[in-house]
Chains A and B, each alone.
Chain A
Amino acid sequence: MKQIHFLGQQTVNLISGLGRAVIMLTSALMHRPNVRKGLPLLLTQLYAVGVQSLIIILVSGTFIGMVLALQGYTILVGYGAEASLGPMVALSLLRELGPVVSALLFAGRAGSALTAEIGLMKATEQLSSLEMMAVDPLRRVIAPRFWAGFISLPLLAAIFSMVGILGAHLVGVDWLGVDGGTFWSVMQAQVDFQGDILNGVIKSLFFAFVVTWIAVYKGYSCDPTSEGISRATTATVVQSSLVVLGLDFILTALMFAG
């Protein structure tokens, strides 16, 4: 009986939380944008969310590309198929690793920072104070952060894939001696613009939406205490990572299985 009660309580909490998150997002985004005021805010957030995540994306992308090339080479060379190194690396990066890994890194780097920042603004009554100044914090604080995340992550994912392929080229061609011309031409023959690149971008758009949404909502709805902020920050990273991985399976099934 107790377990049933607990289950019911959790379900109600989950659904009402989801409802509040939807209401928050719609009231933050459903209004006429004010370019003169909104653009500087968006730029500031693009800097905080996008530019500041660039280093971690560049470094991880390069290394993951290099590791893929190294691992792929040792397997492929056994079949004499090292010419397929290019498409193998490119397809894994474009379809899966680019969007997914950059979304996970983004959740850890930018998502947690967004949650903590908004949570702190709530705890120090800055959000309330905006409201009392007749400035809607949803539009002023939440909306530019959401858009910045939504724009940044697909760009970061593309950058991730690009440096990954360059890293793979470095290891595969310059170090392990795969022919450079083969590397590119076989890749070009195998990679399809719509099927691979576009689907990868669509994936990262989905991930950008949910990760940023979770991050701003967790910050906006956290308990305004130091403990509440730290719990919300952890929740952002854990929940967005899980949602990204789950969503990735669904999207992959829809895009590549059919």
Chain B
Amino acid sequence: MVSKKIELMVGFFVALGIVAILVLSLKVADSGISGNGETYDLYAKFDNIGGLKVRSPIKVGGVVVGRVSNIVLDEEDYTPVVTLNIYAQYKNFSEATSVSILTAGLLGEQFIGLHPGFMDESVETLLPGDFIEDTKPALVLEELIGQFLFSQGSDD
């Protein structure tokens, strides 16, 4: 029969293993549960999303207010539609809010910058499921260089 000591040690071992997995998921990855409050979805259409990925952060003035949860191509006009998963405490963005795809540093990863527009009685707030109309596409380096060269050429 199994002795009490073995039962105790096995219990300790399994508990330690589970604690390790929990520590890794909560403390190291900091995903899921800690940011897992209420959220709501907004949508935005971009001409070009560049290197934006699912789970890229959405920031307002550097503060993370949500994450990209989905990227699909609109079936009618073939432009990318990005689903913005915003934490519920940041509601009441005005309809004049604009979004742009920005890059962290010169070579860093891309994120969505949200610029809250002005608030006034004539402007309504964004409701879950609404589309943000004012979007700026990602800057693609090759296109910029191309434009630069083109403008250089036309000067001559």
Touch between A and B in complex, CB under 8 Å? yes
Instruction: Indicate whether A192 sits within 8 Å of B6 (C-beta atoms), given known contacts A40-B1, A54-B13, A155-B14.
Output: no
A187 within 8 A of B: yes
Report yes or no: A188 in contact with B29, Cβ–Cβ below 8 A.
Answer: yes
Give B1-38 interface residues, CB cut-off 8 Å to A.
Answer: 1-2, 6-7, 9-10, 12-14, 16-21, 23-25, 27-32
Which chain A residue has the least Cβ–Cβ distance from B64? A189
Give A197-219 interface residues, CB cut-off 8 Å to B.
Answer: 197, 201
How many angstroms from the CA of A40 to the CA of B27 in the assembled complex? Answer: 34
Report yes or no: A40 in contact with B2, Cβ–Cβ below 8 A.
Answer: yes
Give A38-94 interface residues, CB cut-off 8 Å to B.
Answer: 40, 43-44, 46-47, 50-51, 54, 90, 94
How many angstroms from the CA of A252 to the CA of B14 in the assembled complex? Answer: 27
Determine the chain B residues whose CB is within 8 A of the CB of A94 once the complex forms: 24, 28
Contact of A51 among B10, B18, B27 (CB under 8 A): B10
Determine the chain A residues whose CB is within 8 A of the CB of B24 once the complex forms: 94, 158, 161-162, 165, 197
A96 within 8 A of B: no
B91 within 8 A of A: no
Report which B residues bind A (CB closer than 8 A): 1-2, 6-7, 9-10, 12-14, 16-21, 23-25, 27-32, 55
Determine the chain A residues whose CB is within 8 A of the CB of B2 once the complex forms: 40, 43-44
Report yes or no: B27 in contact with A184, Cβ–Cβ below 8 A.
Answer: yes
How many angstroms from the CA of A94 to the CA of B20 in the assembled complex? Answer: 12
Question: Taking each of B14, B24, B28, B29, which has the highest tally of chain A beta carbons within 10 Å of its own beta carbon?
Answer: B28
Which chain B residue has the least Cβ–Cβ distance from A46? B10
How many angstroms from the CA of A94 to the CA of B28 in the assembled complex? Answer: 10
Question: Taking each of A158, A191, A192, A197, which has the highest tally of chain B beta carbons within 10 Å of its own beta carbon?
Answer: A158
For chain B, what secondary structure do more than half of its interface residues adopt (helix, strand, loop), or is it mixed? helix
A interface residues, tally (CB under 8 Å): 30
How many angstroms from the CA of A216 to the CA of B130 in the assembled complex? Answer: 59
Determine the chain A residues whose CB is within 8 A of the CB of B6 once the complex forms: 43-44, 47
Which chain B residue has the least Cβ–Cβ distance from A89? B28
Report yes or no: B1 in contact with A50, Cβ–Cβ below 8 A.
Answer: no
CB distance from B65 to the nearest CB of A (A): 15
A248 within 8 A of B: no
Instruction: Indicate whether A155 sits within 8 Å of B18 (C-beta atoms), given known contacts A51-B10, A191-B29.
Output: yes
How many angstroms from the CA of A201 to the CA of B2 in the assembled complex? Answer: 29
How many angstroms from the CA of A152 to the CA of B101 in the assembled complex? Answer: 45
CB distance from A50 to the nearest CB of B (A): 5
Determine the chain A residues whose CB is within 8 A of the CB of B16 once the complex forms: 54, 155, 159
A256 within 8 A of B: no
How many angstroms from the CA of A165 to the CA of B23 in the assembled complex? Answer: 11
Contact of A158 among B12, B20, B29 (CB under 8 A): B20
Report yes or no: B10 in contact with A47, Cβ–Cβ below 8 A.
Answer: yes
Report yes or no: B10 in contact with A193, Cβ–Cβ below 8 A.
Answer: no
Which chain A residue has the least Cβ–Cβ distance from B16? A159
Which chain B residue has the least Cβ–Cβ distance from A191? B29
Could you list 22 A-B pairs, sorted by A, with CB under 8 Å? Answer: A43-B10, A44-B6, A47-B9, A47-B13, A50-B10, A50-B14, A54-B13, A54-B16, A90-B28, A155-B18, A158-B24, A159-B16, A159-B17, A161-B24, A162-B24, A165-B24, A184-B27, A188-B29, A188-B30, A192-B31, A194-B31, A197-B25
Instruction: Indicate whether A155 sits within 8 Å of B20 (C-beta atoms), given known contacts A44-B2, A51-B10.
Output: yes
Determine the chain B residues whose CB is within 8 A of the CB of A43 once the complex forms: 2, 6-7, 10
Instruction: Indicate whether A165 sits within 8 Å of B55 (C-beta atoms), given known contacts A44-B2, A155-B17.
Output: no
Instruction: Indicate whether A197 sits within 8 Å of B29 (C-beta atoms), given known contacts A40-B2, A155-B20, A158-B21.
Output: yes
